[in-house]
Amino acid sequence: MFENIGQFVVKHRKGVFIGYLISVLVAGVIGAGMFGSLKSQGYDDLGSDSAAVDQLLKSDFDTRDASVILVIDTLASIDDPDSVTAATDLLEKVADEENIESIVSYWNSGQESLKSFDGNAGLALVYFTKGLDSEQAAATAKNIQDTYDKESAGTRAYVGGIEVLYEAINGQIRDDLKIAEAIAIPLNVLMLLFVFGAAVAAGLPMVVALGSIAGSFFVLFLVTQFTDVSVFALNLITGLGLGLGIDYALLIVNRYREELARTNDVNASVIKTVTTAGRTVFFSGLTVALVLASMILFPQYFLKSFAYAGVSVVLFAVLASLIALPATLALLGHKVDKFKIRRGDLKPKESGAWSSLATAVMKRPLLIIVGTVTLLVTLASPALDAKFSQVDDRVLPASNPAAIASDQIRDRFESQIPVEVLVPISVSIADVNEYAKTLVADQNVVSAFTSDSFIEGETVSPLPPEQAVAASQAHHRITLYTDVESRNMDAQDLILRLRAIEPPVDGTLIGGQAAIFTDSQAGISDNLPEVLGWLTIATLIILFLFTGSAILPIKAVILNMLSLGATLGVLVWVFQDGNAMWLVGDFTVTGSLDTSTLVLVAIVAFGLSMDYELFLLSRIKEEHDNGADTTTSVSAGLQKSGRIITAAAVLIAIVFACFMTSGVTSIKMLGLGISFAILLDATVVRGLLVPALMRVAGDWNWWAPKPLRKLHARFGINE
């Protein structure tokens, strides 16, 4: 199979190369159309009870969240005549802006909940015209923020709200991505020149990276025509596209140089490279793609987006590595090493530091195993205290105007994000009020509104119709106000307690932001066993087909779990506990980790770890298949792949580490998590633990029961 691919590419090298360039250009131009369709939401489970409540509130109660929330600080009592005049004048100007449907404020409604605790500021809830698309809503929100978030005419206005936050996060990510690329690309160019040793060879990773990134943009453009896609997927495409371009180019070019030095025949070297290193790239890419595809099992489109993006970027990287890169090498021939940067011979050496390291490790394997496992477990220990939450305004820099406005709302006003309860209309209003009293008895529920009553503690007060929450034709509505944040573990505990209270009738639904958070967390935890099963089974099958061993795949999964545990521990220590800001930059410490970002880090790191596992095992297995014993195979395999693995890890770590320059905390977390996991895996795990374990296992490394040996003989993919 792979030999046939190599022969085809060599024979049609010019046509393949030109066709590839045209395809990349077309894909990039069309794919650029997806940028305006990406969204910064996607953390919610749209199939949950809370999502049903959200939909019913919009359709049956004509209730929706304010698009923009203004905090208007009058610098004196908001009931002072001058304050009233200043605030009213400001809101009249806002109301005249394009796409504004209505404004509900303290000054036109008299609602005490819209008055700050100190009495010097009021809230204005701004509702956009219905039917705006995401671009129009974002532009309107940005216009209001740019125009009114300032001090003027006796007021200081702060502009926040959901649309402002979305636009702030999107804009921050767009700007941060430019900065990260401006840092990562020059650094990687310098590193590529050093690692490849020649200017021409150093440019070859871009052949793979450009194709994988452009192809992925094209796929995401198609996906956005049918479903929502998160803007955060861009970070994965650029980071993984550059990273895999470097990984696979290093492997392919290194093997090509090796074969060219041995045969001095360009065509034969390209074919042999595709047959050997190409096979490794294929299995590696297949493994990484299947690992990333597991995120499709989660209900949130934030995580599904990374499945679309991740699978696309990996498959296009594999395609470019098997087709375009060999065609380029066939065209370059011996000129691949033109414009040498390093002195001496650039072909891989048969012995050196890596073989010496492997030999030293295998002399004391038990000591190395105990030491490295102890290190990994120690790094993982902070994970025992991990607390989970979701993204809110605090992912932005504290100096961001949207974050400042959100702090004003959080610190100076009653909670504006209630828990909403819908009870089927068949229940009497008296029973609804009794149920509401039971809910208010919870320690974190402050008060409740029903269609005819206000309930606070044991007191039930009748309400005039204009202050009550009206029922729809199908449901009574209970609005609960609480004293907890809506997107943390306290909110989750509250919702679980409220749902444990027996409702007056089946079909009662509990929603609101706290319930949305709870259901989103449940969407992840409930599907996690399936995802872990997917990862484990896919890894075991592919590594078995690759090696024919029943032992090596199990060992790989266990080591990956140890490595991921250590990474989680570091993330808890940094982002939950607020350490190492000197490394990652300033961020707001919330005492918790964003669950979705953590899942993303774990799955991407798992996939890349398998990437390096296959790089190493491919050379060890090749030596073993050629008759070497386990010790010699490991030593020679690590010598031939160790430099590639380490160089690839450093280069891809640079790409993701540059994400730590972002002002968005979840992007910082993504950058540190993946870069740390990669470096840990490429050094401690692949350089120390794998050789030590393989030395202890000896010939058992290659063991498989007879039925599996027959299965591999029939279905295993060989050169």
Q: Is the pLDDT of residue 716 over 80?
A: no
Helix axes 595-625, 233-263, angle to 10 degrees: 10
Query: Among 619, 640, 617, 628, which residue's Cα sits nearest to residue 351?
Result: 640
Domains along the chain with CATH numbers: 2-40+167-393+520-715 (no CATH), 67-160 (3.30.70.1320), 403-519 (3.30.70)
Question: In this predicted structure, which of 240-254, 332-346, 383-397, 687-701 has the lowest mean pLDDT?
Answer: 332-346
| Spatial distance between the Cα atoms of 1 and 719, rounded to a whole number of angstroms | 7
Residues near 462 by beta carbon (within 8 Å), at least 6 away in sequence: 452, 453, 454
Q: Report, as an integer, the average pLDDT of 163-178.
A: 84
DSSP 80: S
| Spatial distance between the Cα atoms of 680 and 473, rounded to a whole number of angstroms | 59
Which helix H or strand E contains 479, and what residues bound it?
A: strand 475-482
Query: Among 682, 380, 684, which residue's Cα sits nearest to residue 561?
Result: 380
What token pair was written down for 147? 């125009």
The string of pLDDT tens digits covering residues 499-546 is: 999 999 999 999 988 899 899 989 988 998 999 999 899 888 888 888
| Spatial distance between the Cα atoms of 75 and 413, rounded to a whole number of angstroms | 16
Query: Among 231, 170, 172, which residue's Cα sits nearest to residue 663?
Result: 172
Residue 572 is predicted with a pLDDT of: 96
| Spatial distance between the Cα atoms of 710 and 69, rounded to a whole number of angstroms | 67
The string of pLDDT tens digits covering residues 33-53 is: 887 777 767 778 888 999 999
| Spatial distance between the Cα atoms of 630 and 552, rounded to a whole number of angstroms | 13
Residue 261 is predicted with a pLDDT of: 84
DSSP letter string, 423-488: EETTS-HHHHHHHHHHHHTSTTEEEEE-SSEEEETTEEEE--TTTS----SSEEEEEEEESS-SSS
Q: Is the pLDDT of residue 347 over 70?
A: no
Residue 676 is predicted with a pLDDT of: 95
Q: Report, as an integer, the average pLDDT of 236-262.
A: 86
The residue type found at 465 is P
| Spatial distance between the Cα atoms of 559 and 376, rounded to a whole number of angstroms | 10
What token pair was written down for 215? 């192809």
Q: Report, as an integer, the average pLDDT of 590-608.
A: 88
Query: Among 72, 58, 43, which residue's Cα sits nearest to residue 169?
Result: 43
What token pair was written down for 708? 């599996």
The string of pLDDT tens digits covering residues 75-111 is: 889 899 989 999 999 999 999 999 999 999 999 888 8
Which helix H or strand E contains 449, and what residues bound it?
A: strand 445-449
Q: Is the pLDDT of residue 358 over 90?
A: no
Q: Is the pLDDT of residue 376 over 80?
A: yes
Residue 354 is predicted with a pLDDT of: 72
Q: Report, as an integer, the average pLDDT of 165-192.
A: 84
User: What number of CA atoms fall less than 13 Å from residue 372's CA on the CB side?
Assistant: 23
DSSP 585: -
Residue 436, helix vs strand vs coil: helix
Q: Per residue, what are the HEC states of 617-641?
A: HHHHHHHHHCCCCHHHHHHHHHHHH
| Spatial distance between the Cα atoms of 258 and 281, rounded to a whole number of angstroms | 17
What sign for the dihedral angle of Cα 656, 657, 661, 666? positive
Contact 669, 567 (CB under 8 A): no
Residue 61, helix vs strand vs coil: coil
Query: Among 605, 596, 588, 583, which residue's Cα sits nearest to residue 659?
Result: 583
Residue 344 is predicted with a pLDDT of: 59
| Spatial distance between the Cα atoms of 639 and 360, rounded to a whole number of angstroms | 13
What token pair was written down for 641? 């792949």
DSSP 300: -
What would you report as the CA-atom Rg of the chain, rounded to the nearest whole angstrom?
Answer: 29
Residues near 551 by beta carbon (within 8 Å), at least 6 away in sequence: 697, 700, 701, 702, 703, 704
| Spatial distance between the Cα atoms of 318 and 321, rounded to a whole number of angstroms | 5
What token pair was written down for 519? 């259901």
Q: pLDDT band at 311, cuts 50/70/90?
A: very high
Q: Report, as an integer, the average pLDDT of 304-333.
A: 92
219 CB neighbour count, 10 Å cutoff? 21
Q: pLDDT band at 422, cuts 50/70/90?
A: very high
DSSP 586: -
Q: Is the pLDDT of residue 488 over 80?
A: no
Task: Provide the β-strand partners of residue 511.
Answer: 420
As a 3-state breakdown, the chain gives helix, strand, coil percent values, each rounded to 5, of 70, 10, 20
What token pair was written down for 377? 């477990």
Contact 695, 359 (CB under 8 A): no
Q: Is the pLDDT of residue 313 over 90?
A: yes
Average pLDDT for the chain: 87
Count how many residues are written for the chain.
719
Of all residues in the chain, what percent carry a pLDDT higher than 70? 97
Q: pLDDT band at 718, cuts 50/70/90?
A: low
CA distance to 315, 530, 538, 569, 621, per residue, from 288 (Å): 9, 17, 10, 23, 20
| Spatial distance between the Cα atoms of 436 and 454, rounded to a whole number of angstroms | 10
Q: How far is CA 485 from the centre of its chain?
A: 24
For tokens 């050496």, name the residue: 349
What token pair was written down for 607? 């996939």
Q: Is the pLDDT of residue 468 over 70?
A: no
Q: Report, as an integer, the average pLDDT of 285-306.
A: 89
Bridging pattern class, strands 155-160 and 151-152? antiparallel
What token pair was written down for 469? 């929450």
Q: pLDDT band at 58, cuts 50/70/90?
A: confident
